[in-house]
Structure 1
Amino acid sequence: MKRKWNKAAKATAAIAISTSMLFPLASSHQAAFSNVHNVLAAETQSVDSAYLQEAFKKAAKEFGVPENILLSVSYNMTRWEQHNGKPSTSGGYGVMHLTQMDGASADEKGLEEAHSFTPSPNLDQHMLDEAAKLINQDPEALKKDALQNIRGAAALLAKYAKESMGSVPKKEADWYGAVAKYSGSNEEAAATDFADQVYATIQKGMDRHTPEGQDVQLKPENIAGNRASAEKFHFHKSTKDPRAEVPNGVDSQFIPAFYQQLSDNPGNYTNYDVGDRPKLGGDIRYIVIHDTETEYQPTINLFSRPYGASAHYVLRSSDGQITQMIQNKDVAWHAGNWYFNMHSIGVEHEGYAAQGADWYSEQMYHASAKLVRYLAEKYDIPMDRAHIFGHNEVPGLTPSSQHGMHWDPGPFWDWDHYFELMGAPVTPAHGSKRAVTFKPHFETNKQVVDVNDGNIREHSTNFVYLYQEPSFDAPTIVDPAMSAARPDEAANWGNKAEAAQTFALADSKGDWDAIWYGGQKAWFYNPHNKNTVPGNVQTLITPKEGKDAIPVYGSAWPEASAYPSDVVPKSIFPLQYTIEAGQVYAAEEKVNGDYYNAKVFTLDPYGVHKMVYGKEEYYRIHFNHRFAFVKAEDVDVVKR
């Protein structure tokens, strides 16, 4: 069914999209549990933690592949995770991510309209079958048995090495070409970038305790790859599109998002607004991380037609390819909040919030980290969680919209790992003792989460649950906007504190600490500070002396007197919360209200669109799971 989108719906366009479309919405199911911690008893199994390390050693010796090469290839594909034999989004199996993938139709993924999906000609998507033949095993064995998976990959690497060098290389540097080929990409930028990552990991070294209980170590060695060994594969050399704002050395393309006037009415257009940021349209302060809730090509297809939503970038899970669709000077309709649209760049990642472990590939993490670091440096955006955050942290503009705000990239996006890849680990140099920054260890931070697959169980997650009292027997806190959501529901953002979010401490009892969160005291289990580090915050605020409570807002619009006569002032609505006297919150920045008035289709924003700057000052604070704003005149700054 053809949709007609008008500008009145633009600010909240993404909110209106159903759960079967691009972004996940919060559930409205009635709460069914009062005690998340005891929904599922943790099961412990006896695991030989050295099994995987020994498997790498055996396979390396059998096929003549340097063990450090084999280990590093696996780490950069899966971080040594088996994923219980389940495929990734790109059809990769096991710790070596051997691919086996056929074409599919996007209507199988819940879209209202089918979009044809054809495996990319630039990807080798049948590595598993070839590897199985090389070691005379059934392909199913390579999917489920880690040793056979590693053996198959080692045989494949040895085959590639012979093709590039004529025989199995004796020097580790000469395996560079084989590693590039193993990336699965025929694009030179993507293939050599993967090989560079593999050799960089060898130089740095790595050790990890995996979610499956395996202890794996790669000792550091000063080895550089021989790039000439990749020449025989004749990788395709793409010419960088001059419109693409991406770092050098990444596989990228530019496909323009739809932008047209749809009728004689200049206010009837879609999917974004033209600007000239940061000169006109708002300065770029934030980068918002999304997931697509469908596959890569269907996402590009959606943004390429009249749709009512868009993003600046889309990343592919299989190899991290970057498609830019809107220039950063323009304002994409991605956050469901016009204030954040004005000031941000939106980055979509192929995947599903409730299935993050399967979709958020290491290749995509690497490519996204490179892109975001490039953007942060270009636009002088601090590389921290106050400025690089998820769609799930963007507030609604009104109380009614707060409930429907999206929750991607969800509880399975590994923020710690992501920022480590950016070179900005979540470890404040001078943290405040009056605040905490959450830092649960993703792999070992097991929480019971219902992902609506019929199997309520523990998952490695990026959050900790928040309780009404310092006890697992107490109910989790309830956010007024999420009162109907079940406490263990993945989409229920109202009772979770996420990795690298910062809050002011409110209390402490034994192994439990409390924070001020969403207008209430929220308790979390924190023995020996296992889930936190000192708060990474410069300013703490509290209601001004003499005020019993103050409102919070979802935007920082200018005061009415700041608007010119031909621009209708924006109304600012208090959200369904208040901050009572004595409560303290971490403030990330103090800003003057501003607003980009962009109401009609135009190819040149100057003289058509207008930027309004006010004198009213606001603090942006970590309020609950989402940010909020308070007026500076309503608060006092307290010592940190």
Structure 2
Amino acid sequence: MTASAALLVPLLIDRSGEAGPPADQRLQDDYTAAANEYRVPRSILMGVSYLQSRWDSHPGIPSVVGGYGPMHLVDAHGSGARQPGRPHAVTAGPPGSRPQNSPAGTTGQSADLRRAAGLIGLPAAQLRTDDDANVRGGAALLAAAQRQLGKPLSPNPVDWWEAVARFPGTTDRASAVVYADDVFDVIRRGAHRTTDGGQRVSLPASPRVRPPAPLAQAPRRPTEVDCPAELSCSWLKAPYVEIDDDEYGNHQLADRPRDQRIDYIVIHDTEAPLTSMLQTIQDPEESSWHYSIRSSDGHVTQHIRIKDAAWHSGSQFVNARSIGIEHEGFLRQPDAWYTEQMYRSSARLVKYLAKKYGVPLDRQHVFGHDNVPAPTEDTIPDMHDDPGPFWDWRHYFDLLGAPLRATAGPNSDIVMILPDYAHHKPLFTGCTKGGVQCAPHGSSAVRLRTEPDDDAPLIQDPGRRPDGDDSTADVDDLGSRVSAGQSFAVAERSGDWTAIWYQGRKAWFKNPEKHPTAVGARGRMVTPKDGLREVEVFGRALPEEDAYPEEVDEQPESSPLPYTLRAGQRYVTQSRVLGSYLEKASGGDSPSPVVQGQEAYYEIQLGHRLAYVRASDVDVVTASAAAGPPGHAARPPLR
């Protein structure tokens, strides 16, 4: 229970004369009590709550659609639905979908906070801030839905499938089926986590709970849509039109993967309400991306066919080889925008695309806009930083079915950054105002220092801050950060501290044995060949000079980035690529020509961003497993 809700507790029950449950298990007790009171199976109540909020409270702070508390009950007219300084999404969805500026409560949404308040006889304001009241309201809504369906308040979770499907209030039957299936998947698998309020919540696995869910009619969709069958996906075309003499936008025609392999899937957030982004995607002079995912319900809209290259990453080289996915949200406001339904829709889409196009599910192939390598030195300061330090990469890869975990012992040559998201709350500033400390929040990011000391200066990025200014704790400053799932070669260890090779130097982070922020990993690393004092690093892998045909203008030779790999240093690699270049089309409906080189490069985890080194400059070495977990399979050969 939150501190702000404590004053309201006497309205519910007087606990002054009893010990009650431990302070960090009150929410668990609330689920049990509400399930008993309203005769809802506890697994149903907790499973729905997990899908709504992952049991987090975000006390008194609404989501983008005005949802509150562990049950994410929506108050369409609550005073908190719009907050000063926080953009309010007024999002026009695809044709036929529920507009996001019509909050759920106004369209028959089951998770209606005011209706829930009426059912349990409490003020609506109390359900916004009091976890116990919020959970009771959710249970009452589920029981009411079950009665409306003419079904008994059965103790068997299977009998509640239809009531669960109705809870989010979606008007799309396919999405409702996916929602209910996800709830029952949580029930079957079980879940355990510590919430944002420090509450330890556990739902034991019930593997035999497999309801005979009715088959949803396959959603109608345009033939252009490339999307998993179970997702509700629509089409809003990005224009390919002439914007100047022989200059076309807002993307490039191609013939992928036949003429250019798809290597990457890039995760973005919009930093704008979806309304404006859907206008942007229809402007031929603006940037573009393949998919948009709505925050409120995870609805997917496709804009560009996968065979064509979108302009989304800030790097033409990455654009040519990638699929770009925008997620509605603001990196400074993750609790309002990074919803569980959006995470799950995104993971379903990415898992489908990765399988179809052969993209490995690891952090050198599925990465954020903030991990895209700057193509040249002068572009480094302008590269983007979304989806930011509060995107939960660990949870996301769990949903992808490719969990981030230790694959080697604690003394291995490679570590994977893997903090406990809920407990790991590094200092950040700038969420509301420059220099002002952000509220403590779980994070995927780990900060790096020049020495194994909490008071040592932060590592500086000579590319991001060429004037030599210090790195900062600002939420947008990537100069001294690494992120969950990224792997680095170990340079040194000292007590609770681990040093990694990072942008050409040692960078230290705190990694205590009892609460590690990184785990041992297997893999391959590159190191300069014997006799080379240092190796150049590039932001893209372009073809060699004689690879260009006469009809294609030769590109300037790649200029190195302001980082070098020195003798003895090592960097993790998961890909070997050949230089290539996708020429910008000069008109017509034919795909842009692809120039394929023969010079090979290794993609490496240089720092927060990826980079490339010439294969001819480096040797590939395999990490020592250092007593890794038994039975772990070796990684497949480099692509």
Common fold by TM > 0.5: yes
Give the Å deviation of 1:418: 0.5
Partner deviation per Cα, 1:500-535 (whole Å, 9 max, x = no partner): 101111011111110000111100101117111222
- Please show how residues 104-123 of structure 1 align to structure 2 within 5 Å: 118-119=99-100, 123=104
TM-score, length basis structure 1: 0.86
**In structure 1, C-alpha distance between the alignment counterparts of 2:73 and 2:470, rounded to whole Å:** 38
The one of 27, 52, 59 equivalent to 2:27 is 52
CA distance in 1, matches of 2:218, 2:546: 55
Distance 1:108 1:311, change over 3 A: farther
Structure 2 distance, partners of 1:615, 1:480, is: 31
2:233 is the alignment partner of 1:252: yes
Unmatched tracts of structure 1, length 5 or more: 1-45
Partner of 2:533 in structure 1? 548
The Cα of 1:584 is off from its aligned counterpart by 1.1
Give the CA deviation at 1:444: 0.7
2: CA distance between counterparts of 1:559 and 1:89? 49
Alignment correspondent of 1:132 = 117
Q: Does residue 242 of structure 1 match 2:228? A: no
- 3-state SS of paired residue (2:23): coil
**386, 397, 403: which one aligns with 2:381:** 403
Post-superposition offset of 1:544: 2.0
Spell out, residue by residue over 1:397-451, the C-alpha distance to the aligned partner (whole angstroms, 9 max, x if none). 1111011100111000111110111111012545792111111110011111113
Counterparts of 1:106 and 1:57, CA distance in 2 = 33
2:594 aligned partner, one-letter code: M
Which structure has more relative contact order (CA 8 Å, sep 6+)? It is 1
Q: For the residues of structure 1 that align with 2:166 and 2:195, how far apart are their CA atoms?
A: 26
Q: CA deviation at 1:136?
A: 2.0
| Structure 1 residues 312-352: Cα deviation after superposition (integer angstroms, max 9, x where no partner) | 01001111110011110000001110000010000111101
Write the distance in 1 (CA, Å) between the matches of 2:49 and 2:242. 49
Q: Indicate the residue corresponding to 1:94 in structure 2.
A: 69
In structure 1, what residue type is equivalent to 2:600?
A: E
For the Cα contact (< 8 Å) 1:450–1:488, is it kept in 2? Answer: yes
CA 1:411–1:375: 2 relative to 1, 3 Å: same
Deviation track 1:33-66 (CA, whole Å, cap 9, x = no partner) reads xxxxxxxxxxxxx981111011111111111111
Stretch deviating more after TM superposition (94-103 or 64-73): 94-103
The number of residue pairs the alignment matches comes to: 582
Whether the aligned pair in 2 keeps the contact of 1:437 and 1:536 (CA below 8 Å) is no
Residue among 282, 288, 300 paired with 1:322: 300
Could you report, residue by residue, the CA deviation over 1:455-479 in whole angstroms, capped at 9, with x for unpaired residues?
4143210011100000001011010
User: Given the superposition, is the C-alpha separation of residues 79 and 503 from structure 1 closer, same or farther in structure 2, using an over 3 Å criterion?
Assistant: same
Residue 405 of structure 2 corresponds to residue 427 of structure 1:
yes
Q: 1:100-146, CA deviations, whole angstroms, 9 ceiling, x for partnerless residues?
A: 247999998779x9987953669555611211122222211111000
1:296-307 matches, cutoff 5 A: 296-307=274-285
**Selected match of 2:442 from 460, 473, 494:** 460
- Report the Cα distance in structure 2 between the residues aligned to 1:189 and 1:135, rounded to whole angstroms: 31
Q: Is the Cα–Cα contact under 8 Å of residues 162 and 169 in structure 1 kept in the other structure?
A: no
Match of 2:249 among 249, 258, 270: 270
Cα offset for 1:485?
6.4
Describe how 1:221-620 pairs up with structure 2 within 5 A: 221=206, 222-227=208-213, 238-263=219-244, 265-267=245-247, 269-280=248-259, 282-427=260-405, 429=407, 433-454=412-433, 455-456=436-437, 457-483=439-465, 484=469, 486-528=471-513, 530-537=516-523, 539-571=524-556, 572-605=558-591, 609-620=592-603
Q: What is the distance in 1 between the residues matched to 2:90 and 2:512?
A: 50
Contact 1:102 1:119 in 2 (8 A): no
CA distance in 1 between partners of 2:617 and 2:361 (Å): 29
- Whether contact under 8 Å (2:482, 2:608) holds in the other structure is yes
CA shift, 1:583, in A, is 1.3
Distance 2:522 2:264 in 1: 17
Question: Contact 2:458 / 2:471 at 8 angstroms: preserved in 1?
Answer: no
TM-score of the two chains, using structure 2 as the length reference: 0.86
Match of 2:173 among 185, 188, 191: 188
Structure 2 counterpart SS, 1:279: coil
Q: 1:83 pairs with 36, 58, 62, which one?
A: 58
Aligned counterparts of 1:387 and 1:514: Cα–Cα separation in 2? 24
Letter in 1 for 2:413: R
Once the two structures are TM-superposed, the CA of residue 236 in structure 1 deviates from its matched residue by 9.5
Local SS of the residue matching 1:227: coil
Distance in 2 between the 1:386 and 1:84 partners? 36
Corresponding residue number in structure 2 for 1:62:
37
Q: Which moved more, 1:355-364 or 1:478-487?
A: 478-487
Q: Are 1:157 and 1:182, in contact at CA under 8 Å, matched by a contact in 2?
A: yes
User: Unmatched 5+ residue regions in structure 2?
Assistant: 1-20, 94-98, 624-639
| CA offsets 1:180-230 (integer angstroms, 9 cap, x no match) | 1112211011111111111111111112122211111111222223536x9
Change in Cα spacing, 1:114 to 1:51, as seen in structure 2 (3 Å) is closer
